[in-house]
Chains A and B, each alone.
Chain A
């Protein structure tokens, strides 16, 4: 295509971006006029222009025409024209429905042409586009082509990967069937290319349907065994730089990672033999000096090691793998050092190889110090983190701290989190922990996130053996002329709580402490100042002798008239509190903080969030399962329940530690009132009813497990997020959940989000009205014992309410219309909770109906209106709640267009007030 070459040369010769754009616009105008012209273009010209458009698009310009011409090319008899047509479609397809039909038609013709070259072109196009429309059109046809006996090998290869692409984009459209078993047997195909292509498909299908494909394990093992034991020339063109079939070998090893170790002894023996051979080959002298040879060989080796780690059952192989990786740690190839560090991270979490990994600590520390590439240093830091246990924690933490001083900015925050977690997890004596965190703040204060300094305070509060030491250390740290604001925060909080423990020493007498803190005050931001003010009021309680000095400070214009509302409010309130409250009241209000409830470390949560699920190695997801009795393990603290009881709001638990001003009682907290009211019932076994009027909170909690819920509803649809929290220090094994739905009145699709181990999303559709809630069954193993738990999911009919506003007149008119006896349900019951109007209102709003003001002639009564949206019908409902404060009774009346709804609503609500 001479014209195309000339055009490309022109573009390349353009001296400036403007010139290029000018040339392109000229060409676009030319092509447009050619396409619009009266003269019919011949195939060659069409091909040339379409190709030019493609080139322009690839230069980064938008193309909004030419699609039709490209589609025309698809039905050309000339291969080259067809090919360009397909290329254009593959690169530039948009979901113009008109065109998709034409394209699909052309593809269909080519697929049935029995010309293998045409068939491949069509299959490539489907694989490249992979749209849903194509899946709808071809997902049924392609499996047939794939397994048909007379299909050419090259077509089979394309069909396999084409199907894979469709399965990835629209798994629901690719139906399993008779072809599935025949696909597995492609692993035995004579043609290596067919096996190479088919195995990618089989791997993907096995991940989703392991049982249906499990026969592939023995086939894969025997294929692998044949490759591994073949001489380097046996496989002819599939040998790559003296390595037999490296791509296929890697894919086979990858497929085996979808399954547990083979149960059949013979198969397993053969596989272990393969793995040993691969490990042996790594020790043999290379057959070529080319990097391609070693890369291909090591690609297989790393994949084999991944499989060994996946099985985690062959101590001998695990240790050998570890030794091999140890050699790579000092290899001259940066790539290998990188991969060895990465791979060792996973080995470190296996109990069989953990010790072996630890022997490489010096090399890894050295890598952290000397590697020139930051991504390699990052891997070294990850590995140090993974190999850390009680025996080497002090060394590792010290090394990480010293690395932090020079670490790249991009990884500092993560490093800080890691140091903080390790220090906490392996703290034997807590003075070491406090020292470490304070060092962390000193070295990298800017990167110490809130979670980290919240955590140190949490721990100091919970451990009385470290409080005196902490107070002394922060006091000393604050003496530094320039100290980080985070240090001031921690210092303010800790001295406010425990300053009395060091007040005996005249060098840290109350006034000295106060003056030290206050000397930092003016350099700090508003939140820190707020915290310091709270520390001051705590001082007044701890040390009455500082009262006048502190009152003086609070009274100063810069506090009491501060332009910041929060600061001003604190100053005013604290000043007032200190002057009017008696010593007893003051002591009660400003009492030492109660211990924080133990829960998953908020830092750990932060690291997980930062790295994303799956990116964190297994052992850190389950907090310190290897070491018993960590600081953070739930088992250590027997008195957990008291800690929970002292936190008034379990529904805030999902948020993690509630931080902020140390004086909770004095801080304005009107905003959290609603939450507290709704969750006053605390944690009990029947979480279900507590969710009638709210959507979020803790559904269930025992010593092992906490289940939190967040849900949202719109019309007849809902989505519920379940959060499973492991409260123990041990991993839960085979954690499975099933949701069953009585009577099929709701459609639930439980789906575990990819990789996330703690969150589950359920989509809900209400088909018709219902009374029975769906059941959630949870099974898992904890310390060998099977735990089985069934809970009602709090999906109730009122969740699908649409509020309806109406005037008094309308309300009573409708009320009268719903006068059939079965349409009404009524209950009279005793009040279970205080009869507070605001609380009642909040609950009724939570119910989902519109709360109608000024409708009922009696202002004490509440009336509500709403429409329940189900797929089948809409059910209008009206409600009237009449409280009788004297008798502490309620009368509840519900009228709906459907009797079952009235009855159910009445039952649900009777338990709420």
Chain B
């Protein structure tokens, strides 16, 4: 994977993770272009598109779009599930995650992502193991709670069959 972007329906960037070296200018350009492209697509359209020489895989969860750029030989469907697993991780960690959680605890969103994906590749796909690592770190961290309410990203994630 070359990069992952999270942005809102209004086009506001919520999280960006780059796994290839690019200049800030280039990053901004890519972000602008992709946010525009993805937001212009209709809900029933397919989740994949060709963009430059990369493949874009995206999915919308409530008000947030998760968008990954992968290379030619990479697997689109498994990337779609990478996105989903990340959402699950956020959901489990924050307890019914919503966009505001990611805004106010952006650093946590980054930490969780680093435990799950590193250098653009899946590092640990077990939900338990990822959360264990984060919780261990949290034990060392003072607690700061934010009461926030907004639409939950996933309503049905908490109880997998």
Q: Provided the pairs A200-B121, A246-B81, A292-B84 are in contact, do residues A51 and B133 lie with their beta carbons within 8 angstroms?
A: no
B104-A5 in contact (CB<8A): yes
Bound-complex Cα distance A248 to B120 (A):
15
Query: Within 8 Å of chain A (Cβ to Cβ): is B161?
Result: yes
Q: Provided the pairs A78-B140, A157-B124 are in contact, do residues A87 and B48 lie with their beta carbons within 8 angstroms?
A: no
Chain A contacts for B16, CB-based, 8 A: 58
Q: Mark B130-161, 1 if CB is under 8 A from A, else 0.
A: 00010011001110101000000000000011
Q: Considering the complex, give the chain B residue whose CB is closest to the CB of A297.
A: B77
Q: Which of A232-277 contact B (CB under 8 A)?
A: 236-238, 240-241, 245-248, 250-251, 254, 257
Chain A contacts for B140, CB-based, 8 A: 78-80, 117
Chain B contacts for A337, CB-based, 8 A: 46
**For the side of the interface on A, what is the size category?**
35 or more
Q: Provided the pairs A240-B81, A299-B78 are in contact, do residues A192 and B21 lie with their beta carbons within 8 angstroms?
A: no
- Checking A78, A128, A193, A200 against B114 with a beta-carbon cut-off of 8 angstroms, the contacting residue is A128
Q: Mark A425-453, 1 if CB is under 8 A from B, else 0.
A: 00000000000000000000000000000
Q: Provided the pairs A295-B77, A334-B45 are in contact, do residues A237 and B118 lie with their beta carbons within 8 angstroms?
A: no
A162-B118 in contact (CB<8A): yes
A165-B119 in contact (CB<8A): yes
Q: Mark A482-513, 1 if CB is under 8 A from B, else 0.
A: 00000000000000000000000000000000
Q: Mark A213-241, 1 if CB is under 8 A from B, else 0.
A: 00000000000000000000000111011
B126-A87 in contact (CB<8A): no
Q: How far is the CB of B89 from chain A (nearest CB, A)?
A: 12
Q: Provided the pairs A2-B144, A154-B133 are in contact, do residues A197 and B78 lie with their beta carbons within 8 angstroms?
A: no
Q: Which of B1-26 contact A (CB under 8 A)?
A: 13, 15-16, 19, 21, 24
Query: Within 8 Å of chain A (Cβ to Cβ): is B80?
Result: yes
Q: Provided the pairs A60-B28, A612-B53 are in contact, do residues A299 and B123 lie with their beta carbons within 8 angstroms?
A: no
Bound-complex Cα distance A298 to B78 (A):
9
- Checking B75, B136, B144 against A1 with a beta-carbon cut-off of 8 angstroms, the contacting residue is B144
B103-A12 in contact (CB<8A): yes
Q: Which of B53, B81, B160 has the most CB of A within 10 A?
A: B81
Query: Within 8 Å of chain B (Cβ to Cβ): is A335?
Result: yes
Q: Which of A181-199 contact B (CB under 8 A)?
A: 192-193, 196-197
Q: Provided the pairs A79-B140, A250-B78 are in contact, do residues A237 and B123 lie with their beta carbons within 8 angstroms?
A: no
- Checking A161, A247, A375 against B119 with a beta-carbon cut-off of 8 angstroms, the contacting residue is A161
Query: Within 8 Å of chain A (Cβ to Cβ): is B44?
Result: yes
Q: Mark A773-817, 1 if CB is under 8 A from B, else 0.
A: 000000000000000000000000000000000000000000000
Q: How far is the CB of B115 from chain A (nearest CB, A)?
A: 8
Q: Mark A69-91, 1 if CB is under 8 A from B, else 0.
A: 00000000011100110010001
- Checking A237, A298, A338 against B129 with a beta-carbon cut-off of 8 angstroms, the contacting residue is A237
A124-B77 in contact (CB<8A): no
Q: Considering the complex, give the chain A residue whose CB is closest to the CB of B80.
A: A295
One of B61-69, B90-98, B105-113 at the interface: B105-113
B123-A158 in contact (CB<8A): yes
Query: Within 8 Å of chain B (Cβ to Cβ): is A36?
Result: no
Q: How far is the CB of A170 from chain B (nearest CB, A)?
A: 11
B49-A130 in contact (CB<8A): no
Q: A interface, by DSSP: helix, strand, loop or mixed? A: helix
A161-B85 in contact (CB<8A): no
A161-B123 in contact (CB<8A): yes
State how many residues of chain B have any CB contact under 8 Å with chain A.
56
Query: Within 8 Å of chain B (Cβ to Cβ): is A543?
Result: no
- Checking B13, B124, B142, B146 against A196 with a beta-carbon cut-off of 8 angstroms, the contacting residue is B124
Bound-complex Cα distance A462 to B122 (A):
56
Q: How far is the CB of A162 from chain B (nearest CB, A)?
A: 7
Q: Provided the pairs A60-B13, A117-B136, A335-B77 are in contact, do residues A164 and B121 lie with their beta carbons within 8 angstroms?
A: yes
A196-B81 in contact (CB<8A): no
Bound-complex Cα distance A168 to B13 (A):
27
B122-A247 in contact (CB<8A): yes
Chain A contacts for B137, CB-based, 8 A: 79-80, 83, 117
- Checking B24, B121, B127, B161 against A290 with a beta-carbon cut-off of 8 angstroms, the contacting residue is B161
Q: Which of A164-179 contact B (CB under 8 A)?
A: 164-165, 168-169
Q: Mark A295-332, 1 if CB is under 8 A from B, else 0.
A: 11011001100100000000000000000000000000
Q: Considering the complex, give the chain B residue whose CB is closest to the CB of A12.
A: B103
- Checking A58, A79, A292 against B106 with a beta-carbon cut-off of 8 angstroms, the contacting residue is A58
A373-B46 in contact (CB<8A): yes
A80-B13 in contact (CB<8A): no
Query: Within 8 Å of chain A (Cβ to Cβ): is B125?
Result: yes
Query: Within 8 Å of chain B (Cβ to Cβ): is A368?
Result: no
B123-A55 in contact (CB<8A): no
Chain A contacts for B114, CB-based, 8 A: 124, 128
Bound-complex Cα distance A168 to B120 (A):
11
Q: Provided the pairs A5-B104, A8-B103 are in contact, do residues A238 and B125 lie with their beta carbons within 8 angstroms?
A: yes
Chain A contacts for B141, CB-based, 8 A: 79-80
Chain B contacts for A240, CB-based, 8 A: 81, 85, 125
Q: Provided the pairs A197-B118, A339-B76 are in contact, do residues A615 and B53 lie with their beta carbons within 8 angstroms?
A: yes
Bound-complex Cα distance A196 to B146 (A):
35
- Checking B48, B80, B103 against A375 with a beta-carbon cut-off of 8 angstroms, the contacting residue is B48
Q: How far is the CB of B98 from chain A (nearest CB, A)?
A: 14
Bound-complex Cα distance A131 to B28 (A):
20
- Checking B21, B46, B78 against A247 with a beta-carbon cut-off of 8 angstroms, the contacting residue is B78
Query: Within 8 Å of chain B (Cβ to Cβ): is A372?
Result: yes
Bound-complex Cα distance A60 to B128 (A):
34
B119-A162 in contact (CB<8A): yes
B48-A338 in contact (CB<8A): yes
- Checking A54, A130, A378, A612 against B21 with a beta-carbon cut-off of 8 angstroms, the contacting residue is A130
Q: Provided the pairs A1-B144, A241-B160, A615-B53 are in contact, do residues A197 and B121 lie with their beta carbons within 8 angstroms?
A: yes
Q: Considering the complex, give the chain A residue whose CB is closest to the CB of B72.
A: A614
Q: Which of A77-108 contact B (CB under 8 A)?
A: 78-80, 83-84, 87, 91
- Checking B85, B119, B123 against A193 with a beta-carbon cut-off of 8 angstroms, the contacting residue is B123
Q: How far is the CB of B93 from chain A (nearest CB, A)?
A: 15
Q: Considering the complex, give the chain A residue whose CB is closest to the CB of B127.
A: A237
Query: Within 8 Å of chain B (Cβ to Cβ): is A127?
Result: yes
Query: Within 8 Å of chain B (Cβ to Cβ): is A376?
Result: yes
Query: Within 8 Å of chain B (Cβ to Cβ): is A280?
Result: no
A296-B124 in contact (CB<8A): no
Bound-complex Cα distance A248 to B146 (A):
36
- Checking B48, B82, B128 against A339 with a beta-carbon cut-off of 8 angstroms, the contacting residue is B48
Q: How far is the CB of A174 from chain B (nearest CB, A)?
A: 13
7 pairs of A and B residues whose beta carbons are closest in the complex: A299-B77, A165-B119, A299-B78, A200-B121, A161-B118, A237-B126, A334-B46
12 contacts between A and B (CB under 8 A): A60-B28, A87-B110, A130-B21, A154-B129, A161-B119, A164-B121, A168-B119, A192-B125, A192-B126, A196-B123, A196-B125, A238-B126
Binding site for A on B (CB under 8 A): 13, 15-16, 19, 21, 24, 28, 42, 44-50, 53, 72-73, 75-78, 80-82, 84-85, 103-104, 106-107, 110-111, 114, 118-129, 133, 136-137, 140-142, 144, 146, 160-161
Binding site for B on A (CB under 8 A): 1-2, 5, 8, 12, 51, 54-55, 58, 60, 62, 78-80, 83-84, 87, 91, 117, 120, 123-124, 127-128, 130-131, 154, 157-158, 161-162, 164-165, 168-169, 192-193, 196-197, 200, 236-238, 240-241, 245-248, 250-251, 254, 257, 288, 290, 292, 295-296, 298-299, 302-303, 306, 334-335, 337-339, 372-373, 375-376, 378, 612, 614-615
Extra inter-chain contacts (7) besides given A158-B123, A303-B75, CB under 8 Å: A80-B141, A131-B21, A165-B119, A238-B126, A250-B75, A303-B78, A375-B49
